[in-house]
Structure 1
Amino acid sequence: MTTRWVAGFRSAVISPDESVRFNEPRGFHDQTVRQVLHMAGGGERVRVRLSNRYGRSPLTVGVARLAERGIADQIVTETDVVLRFDGSRRVTVPPGGEVVSDPVELAVRAGDDLVLSLHLPEETGLATFSHMPVETAHVADGDQTGAANLVGAEEVEGRFFVTGVDVLAPEGAGVAVAFGDSWFEGVGSTVGANRRSVDWLNRRLRRGWVVNQGIAGNRLLTDGVGEHALARFERDVLSVPGVTQVLAHFGINDLGLPGMLGLPPATADDLVAGFTELAHRAHEAGLVIHAATIGPFAGAIYPGHNTPEGLAARREVNEWIRGGSVFDAVFDVARAVEDPARPDYLRPEFDSGDGMHLNDAGARAMAECVDLDVLRL
């Protein structure tokens, strides 16, 4: 059987120096960081990607180990393997750098949870991290990477230094990238339960899968929380091995986030131009691109977020998305989750409590509005 390396898990990262962020960065020193990686797809071998993209200091990994997950921070010890980097257990990643581990024999399936344990013996400085991944990491003193469960571990909601897992999968395994904001990253869904919209979508698929490159607070047009979509498209979509399709969800933060900062929202014309450029880049690379309409946010509790100008632009852009021919397909998230009596607001049963983010049921409704016949995975 012919096989190839494709993305089985992805996690987009941001800089700890971002001026706007909603989850605090941190560093580590002589500590073990144990993290759960929920696999979108599987294969017979794996390799792990670590990043010091935004670090100001070298990142030294004394030991990195990978295993199947047991309960909470426990690992299934008989599956535990040491990762090597060009044959060495220890690796130092320079500021701005990334490394990929040597492949290891560890068969995984879609939906499996792997546990990555990193011993960080030297001061890391503030970590390159995923903004709001809706997952718990465990941090303990010293090198406990091989322990079945960590002693004296601190629970931290976050993900650090890891950007992906590649899997050696059968030729023809299809991979799509969910490229967007918090509605993909999963804010509002239950922490650690894998009920993000992308997780619900993957449960509907049979042959391929979708890897998650959402960043909470990310914008289509302007840097703010992470580099804006057009700036990170090559790295977070085009460089993903095996990608054939992209699902895009942007706009809420272009329209709402500026109000929190005392700035005017993006205009409808600005967003139309940005979406058109995004579609052009995808097609130029030979990718199929599916676009989501912009979800409702009139009930957002965040100061300045739900301005009349921003809400009017949302409605205008959504009509353009629905009626245009720029994208290969549209999944109408707005219609799926809006309150029919007040379309600028979320349905109460889908509201996580802040008027803007989806709870587990809302994330499932978002996933179910994707037409699988069109997605073809």
Structure 2
Amino acid sequence: MEAVAVFTTAWTASPQLPAVGFTPNWSQEGFWRQSLRQVVRIGAGGGRVRIRLSNAYGTSPLRIAGATVARAGEGAGVEPGSLRRLTFEGAGGVEIPARGQVASDPAELVVEALESVTVTLHLDAATGPATFHAQAFATSHRGEGDRLDDLDGDGFGETSESWYFLSAVEVDAGRTDGVVLFGDSIVDGFGSTPGANRRWSDALAERTGRPVLGAGIGGNLLLNDSAWYGEKGVRRFGRDVLDQAGVEAVVVLLGLNDIGFSETDEQPTYKPAPVVEAEELIDGYRELIRQARGRGLRAIGATLLPFGGSDHWGERAAKVSREVNGWILGAGEWDAVVDLNEVVADPEDPDRLRGVYDFGDHLHPNDAGYEVMAEEVAGCF
């Protein structure tokens, strides 16, 4: 009897409601008679590839007329000889129900860990507003008509820095040592160089040799839903962490937006922003720990980063942040802890990010900051 291949999630993006977003995107207008080519970097290699597509926030069925996968070339191009047609239960296309998802059949394609692949979707019927991931820090491409077999990418004339419908890429790696980073824009890679794969998740994958999945959503909250910034962490944890294949640990870095959104009146997308105390966040973390352990995952807590000088800063927010970090480090409730606050803090002013690690908004690290964070977290593995 032939052995059943064990698939491992090699890349993921957490689905979000269609929204205006941080940069212009196509989520609200959707797609019609167009092809969408997306480039993603995978964290595991294998001989077969399959994808997962999400219509989680769709209000009507989503028709996928066809799909292909290939090793990425330059720009929107693909590596010659690597293009493969994807099927769905043997069919060339599929209809995904509103609020549903679907997995493709495996396609024979040899891929290596840390290389990029393209996934191309032909969307021949009006999709309506599109389930998407706002901040990709990578370029997606759109072209008119059926561009599934386009090799050089010249037919893709429009670009976006978001991902649409694509929620996971899986390979038959048979690995069970994957790590999920769960959190907000810092997990998402805000402040890293776009198109360069310099996110925190990329840096950790390079250091550990493990599949590392970024399950961050910019602006995400642990305790409250947001029209702009995704479902609350305690609710989306099951979909974005526990449902990933081949994962053995999760690192949680989430809560700074819960603390800091109420400190400013200048950003309307931060509203509503309830005033949150440390005890409420700790209860939320305990719920994540409970969910993770219920599925046999190690739960690793990361301290909140310094944010002095940012639009999240204020006396109350600073107090709550210190209380939360004290609990993370001292309560003994996580399976392991990592003090990222200390790693990136300015030695002369510990409430602030060290200048060489500051993207410029006093809230998000830059490429160098993500590197030292990855080095610290790598010690847990």
Fold equivalence (TM over 0.5): yes
Aligned equivalents of 1:231 and 1:263: distance in 2?
A: 18
Displacement of 1:262 in angstroms is 6.8
Displacement of 1:71 in angstroms is 0.8
Aligned equivalents of 1:262 and 1:175: distance in 2?
A: 35
8 Å Cα contact 2:208/2:378 also seen in 1:
no
The answer to which of 260-269 and 186-195 deviates more is 260-269
Deviations 1:55-83 (A, max 9, x none): 12321111211100111111113100010
Residue 107 of structure 1 is matched in structure 2 by 110
Aligned equivalents of 1:238 and 1:95: distance in 2?
A: 22
Residue 42 of structure 1 is matched in structure 2 by 45
Residue 10 of structure 2 is matched in structure 1 by 8
8 Å Cα contact 1:31/1:121 also seen in 2:
yes
Q: Structure 1: where are the runs of 5+ without partners?
A: none
Residue 209 of structure 1 is matched in structure 2 by 211
8 Å Cα contact 1:299/1:346 also seen in 2:
no
Deviations 1:336-375 (A, max 9, x none): 1111111121111111122211111111111111143x32
Counterpart selection for 1:90 from 57, 78, 93: 93
8 Å Cα contact 1:67/1:79 also seen in 2:
yes
Counterpart selection for 1:277 from 287, 293, 301: 287
8 Å Cα contact 1:265/1:309 also seen in 2:
no
Residue 150 of structure 1 is matched in structure 2 by 154
Residue 177 of structure 1 is matched in structure 2 by 180
Q: What residue identity is the alignment partner of 1:11?
A: A
Identity %: 39
**What pairs with 1:192-341 in structure 2 (closer than 5 Å)?**
192-206=195-209, 208-224=210-226, 225-260=229-264, 261=271, 263-300=273-310, 302=311, 305-341=312-348
Displacement of 1:93 in angstroms is 1.2
Aligned equivalents of 1:246 and 1:152: distance in 2?
A: 37
Displacement of 1:258 in angstroms is 3.2
8 Å Cα contact 1:185/1:215 also seen in 2:
yes
Aligned equivalents of 1:2 and 1:347: distance in 2?
A: 49
Aligned equivalents of 1:174 and 1:181: distance in 2?
A: 23
Instruction: Say whether residues 1:32 and 2:35 are aligned partners.
Output: yes
- With over 3 angstroms needed to count, the CA separation of the structure-2 counterparts of 1:262 and 1:229, relative to structure 1, is closer
Aligned equivalents of 1:139 and 1:318: distance in 2?
A: 43
Q: Structure 2: where are the runs of 5+ without partners?
A: 265-270
Displacement of 1:166 in angstroms is 1.2
Residue 80 of structure 2 is matched in structure 1 by 77
Q: What residue identity is the alignment partner of 2:254?
A: F
Aligned equivalents of 2:260 and 2:297: distance in 1?
A: 29
Alignment RMSD: 1.7
Deviations 1:284-338 (A, max 9, x none): 22211111100111222x4xx2221111111111111111211011111111111
Residue 370 of structure 1 is matched in structure 2 by 377
4+ residue stretches of structure 1 with deviation over 6 A?
Answer: none
Q: What residue identity is the alignment partner of 2:245?
A: P
Counterpart selection for 1:122 from 120, 125, 141: 125
The answer to which of 263-272 and 102-111 deviates more is 263-272
Aligned equivalents of 1:96 and 1:152: distance in 2?
A: 28
8 Å Cα contact 1:219/1:251 also seen in 2:
yes
8 Å Cα contact 2:182/2:241 also seen in 1:
yes
Aligned equivalents of 1:334 and 1:73: distance in 2?
A: 38
Displacement of 1:173 in angstroms is 3.9
8 Å Cα contact 1:134/1:158 also seen in 2:
yes
Residue 60 of structure 2 is matched in structure 1 by 57
* Number of matched pairs: 367
- TM-score w.r.t. structure 2 length? 0.92
SS in 2 for 1:273: helix
Residue 22 of structure 1 is matched in structure 2 by 22
Aligned equivalents of 1:218 and 1:249: distance in 2?
A: 11
SS in 2 for 1:78: coil
Aligned equivalents of 2:41 and 2:119: distance in 1?
A: 11
Aligned equivalents of 2:84 and 2:154: distance in 1?
A: 17
The answer to which of 258-267 and 121-130 deviates more is 258-267
8 Å Cα contact 1:331/1:371 also seen in 2:
no
Deviations 1:146-204 (A, max 9, x none): 1121325111111000000111113x541121111111111110111110001000001
Q: What residue identity is the alignment partner of 1:253?
A: N
